[in-house]
Amino acid sequence: MTQKFDYIVVGAGSSGCIVAARLTEDPNVRVLLVEAGGTDRTNMFIAMPGGLPFVYQNKKIGWGIQSGPEPHLQGKTIDEKAGKILGGGSSINAMIYNRGNPMDYDGWAADGLKDWDYAHCLPYFRKMETFEDGPDDWRGGGGPLRISRARAQHKMYETFLRAGEQAGFETTPDHNGRRQEGLHIAQSFIHDGVRMSATRAYLRPALDRPNLKVLPKTLVTRVLVEDGAAVGIEVAGPDGPRRALCEREVILAAGAMNTPKLLMLSGIGPGDELRRHGIDVVAEAREVGRNLQNHPGVDLQFGTRAEDSLTSELGLIGRAKLGADWMLRRKGLGTTNFFEAGAFLRTRDDVDFPNMQWEFLPLTRQLRGGRLVPVPGFQFWMDLSRPLSRGEVTLRSANPADAPSVVFNTYAERQDLQDMIDGVRMTRETLVGQPAWQRYRPQLLTPGPDVTSDDEIEAFVRRATGTSYHPSGTCRMGVDAEAVVDGEGRVNAVRDLRIVDASIMPKVITGNLNAPVMMMAEKIADGIRGCEPLAPSDAVYYRRARAGREPEGPEAVRA
């Protein structure tokens, strides 16, 4: 590749598409965007929200990374969904739009990252979105991302909300606005019945720009470093490695599993780990790959009569109607991801934030005879919002084609396991135990009625735990000497190298990661371009005090 670029962006996922699109708004800047996967236009199910199960099962558009063996989960391995396709995770995820809790970002600021408090992040959340209900102090009205509110028309969604209120919880009108905590109707990366990915919102409108070159189906094998500075990349080719050079920066946006892998393949990381694989140490950076976090969780299933569950509408005839309605009219069940209600709640009073997240579905499926079959009922996906346990990403070998080794070390901290046990009890006894649910006569399916004691619930949790596919933290931002990047995503150990993806989160946020990663990309892109940062917001947010003490800070008083 003889052309020289100003910037090379590695990874055309949620953050890479945004960074490339924003940088090329300047016609004098030349950008190369490199993606290991192919186009997102060849598979109808990617665009179709109701086709999500088929997207998850498609191995051609995923990286195929397995986490584990997990030492505290009986040695199990977990298939970690990660998009190997234009749009990355935004092309294969569940399209759930959650920003996180304002206290997440204020927590980052409290650790020294002062420009990452909620006041500085909120303007970028507003910049990137056009919310269906219109703009206000918290929501945007002119951004590329069209965000919709779920219709939630099935009767069980209303039952879910009423039961939560009977249990003493509040329903928040906008969990991405002033108050996250409580039960809510979901919001989605869906517009006019179609997935709203980073490709659709940002990349496609930029493709005609002469200063943007997109290189799909190209595996980056290492970052080229000369005299302590990144100068380009090396990519795999049919006739051997090729190089692309840049004059300003290499920007990694490959995700929390592949970004640390690429750094280590390039000789940037823990020296002992690199030497173990025969890789020369270009720059010592001991924290690369460490601090790995996710949202571990379990499915909790309940049986009902067939006529009460949405499962009854998804037989052969129902699925055919779903597909036809979507293809011909962009209407019907094909326009929903089915995750149309949820909650952020606390299982204990000694935390400032909702330590658990629930996603509710008015249908359920079970593995029977080796096949996933629909079962009349409903289910919750329940996960930990901010687990204490930390894992690590390391190399399997020096071969760039090999997947990294990923171990989340789930439940290494006992408090994480106790929160999950308490969450199972809260779901079964507090949420589903209310009068609103009794009309459906719910039956315990998973775990079954024989699982009642803490020991039995613990055994179930260890056996059933999966993840929400939210890896983060492996190249964390910070102001300390061990931080991999600074507050603008610049790698401390190598000049002219930057990271813009979930790997730089110092602590995982309370909610799904797609929206926060996009916000981070918008914010850092402004910094790369030298734009004046958006003015901080003075919008307030809800914060409930821990048991036994008063709220702290002006935001708590105002809220």
Distance of alpha carbon 498 from the chain centroid: 20
| Dihedral angle of Cα 259, 260, 265, 266, to the nearest 10 degrees | 80
Q: Yes or no: say if 516 and 100 are a contact pair by the CB < 8 Å rule.
A: yes
The strand pair at 182-185 and 341-345 is best described as: antiparallel
Whether the Cβ atoms of residue 57 and residue 342 lie closer than 8 Å to each other: no
Q: Which of 337, 269, 334, 339 is nearest to 503 (CA)?
A: 269
What's the distance, CA 154 to chain centroid? 26
Query: Which residues are the active-site residues?
Result: 470
Burial of 504 (0-12, 13-18, 19+ CB in 10 A): buried
**Which tokens sit at 12?**
């055309």
- Which residues 6+ apart lie within 8 Å of 452 measured at CB? none
- Dig out the tokens for 368 from the structure: 């029977």
Nearest to 247 by CA among 18, 413, 29, 67: 29
* Beta bridge pairs of residue 368: 371
Helices (H), 154-213: 155-166, 198, 204-206
Torsions phi, psi for 388 (to 5 deg): -85, -25
